[in-house]
Amino acid sequence: MRCINNRFFSLSISTVLLGSILTGCGSTSYEMAYSPDYPVSSYRIAVSEEAVDTAAPFAADLCVVDGDVVADDLDLSRVSSAALFSLSANETILAKNVYEKLAPASLTKIMTALVALKYGSPDEVLTASANVKITESGAQTVGIKEGDQMTLTQALHLLLINSANDAAVMIAEGVGGSIEGFSELMNQEAKEIGATNSNFVNPHGLTADNHYVTAYDMYLIFNAALEYDLINEIISMPSYTTVYKDKNGNDKEISVNTTNLYLQGEKNAPDAITVIGGKTGTTNAAGHCLIILSRDSAGKPYISVILRADDKDILYQDMTDLLSEIKN
């Protein structure tokens, strides 16, 4: 499914039930009654100079998927949602339940990094509050204490490489002033990039009511995050060591390893496919989740995502099978 139509459209906000036939991706048509809760992402509400609200496709070079795109040789029955997108061809290669709202676990941290770099400075120094103490059982932390100080760049490395939930709190409070304030920025950014079927209430993805994404929205969020060189650099790193300061100004050294089993070398991508990096996520509510940036032998980039696999082995087996659908 490839986007070839660059035309924008508008719908009067005063006509709630106005139906419109939209051609936004190849020859596929979409019938849409105006609603801010339309279940297909990528439509944003924009106010014109004439004060008429309109709904417009957020980008002409990204596909809008209106249903499953399947392959006869691929079984994705063990995961709730999955997709594979070609960034160079603007093509949806495979899609399953890409608009189902699901808990994202630590895939949330992609949006956290995106918002942090948009509204913060890599060199700004963050100071940890008492809220960095995470009490949820099994939650990943790196031992940040109240009063510890590090740069946003250091915190982002801990966030994306080791999925540190305490680093997420430190970033959110440092950039957004509070968890609530930062979450508002996350939701604002989601709407701006067209991820209209997502909602964030925290920066880490630990289980919370009304915190959800879709696989398609995760593609949009990850694609936007990859515009930042620092994020590209961090997600490809198998390990990281840094030194920061405690509340008394003493040096504290920390070393972390990636949670991505492809980068660890424990799992192998298909022949001719190179996994550049990505983000893992696991909670009881979300199951096992993974989003990956990869390249084929010609260097063409792809984003693949799986939400809610039953266990880690299924997650990586199905992701490898998904990547096998890339035809070099």
Question: For 128-141, what is each residue's pLDDT tens digit?
Answer: 999 999 988 889 99
User: Is the pLDDT reported for residue 30 higher than 90?
Assistant: no
Supply the pLDDT for residue 6: 30
Q: Which domains does the chain have, with CATH numbers?
A: 1-66 (no CATH), 68-328 (3.40.710.10)
Q: Where are the beta strands (DSSP E) in the chain?
A: 19-25, 28-33, 43-47, 53-57, 79-86, 91-96, 125-127, 149-151, 239-245, 251-257, 274-283, 287-295, 301-309
pLDDT at site 316: 98
Q: What is the pLDDT of residue 189?
A: 97
Asked if 91 and 327 touch (Cβ cutoff 8 Å), the reply is no
As a whole number of angstroms, the distance between CA 301 and CA 282 comes to 25
pLDDT-wise least confident of 25-34, 76-85, 201-210, 238-247 = 25-34
Q: What pLDDT is recorded for position 59?
A: 53
Annotated binding site: 279
Known catalytic membership, residue 101: no
**Would you state the pLDDT for residue 41?**
62
Q: Specify the pLDDT at position 138.
A: 87
The CA radius of gyration of the chain, in Å to the nearest whole number, is 20
Buried/exposed 124-154: b ≥16 CB within 10 Å, e otherwise = eebebeeebebeeeebbbbebeeebbbbbbb
State how far the alpha carbon of 134 is from the alpha carbons of 140, 142, 154, in Å.
9, 10, 19
Q: In whole angstroms, what is the distance from residue 153 CA to residue 157 CA? A: 6
**pLDDT (0 to 100) of residue 43:** 52
The one catalytic residue among 81, 109, 183, 304:
109
Average pLDDT rounded to a whole number, residues 281-297: 97
pLDDT tens string 229-239: 999 999 999 99
| Residue written as token pair 């960034």 | 87
What is the rounded average pLDDT of the residues 97-112?
A: 98
Instruction: Band the pLDDT of 42: cuts 50, 70, 90.
Output: low
Q: Is 106 assigned a catalytic role?
A: yes
Confidence label for 40 from pLDDT (cuts 50, 70 and 90): low
Is 70 exceeded by the pLDDT of residue 287? yes
What pLDDT shows up at residue 65? 79
Secondary structure of residue 102 in the 3-state scheme: strand
Q: For position 72, what pLDDT does the model report?
A: 87
> Taking CA 298 as the corner, what is the angle to CA 278 and CA 27, rounded to the nearest 5 degrees?
80
- Calculate the average pLDDT of the chain: 86
What stretches of 56-178 show up as alpha helix (H) in DSSP?
108-119, 152-161, 165-176
Return d(Cα 281, Cα 108) in angstroms, integer: 8
Q: Find the range with the poorest average confidence among 7-16, 66-75, 173-182, 315-324.
A: 7-16
Catalytic residue among 80, 86, 163, 198: 163
The annotated binding site for substrate is made up of: 279
Which entry of 81, 106, 183, 198 is annotated as an active-site residue? 106
The arithmetic mean of pLDDT across residues 214-239, rounded, is 98
Per the model's pLDDT, the better-predicted residue between 36 and 8 turns out to be 36
Percentage above 70 pLDDT, the chain: 81
Active site residue 191: no
Q: For residue 266, is pLDDT > 80?
A: yes
The reported pLDDT for the residue numbered 328 is 74
CB 133 within 8 A of CB 142: no
The answer to whether residue 105 scores a pLDDT higher than 80 is: yes
pLDDT above 90 covers a percentage of the chain that reads 77
Task: Output the pLDDT for position 38.
Answer: 59
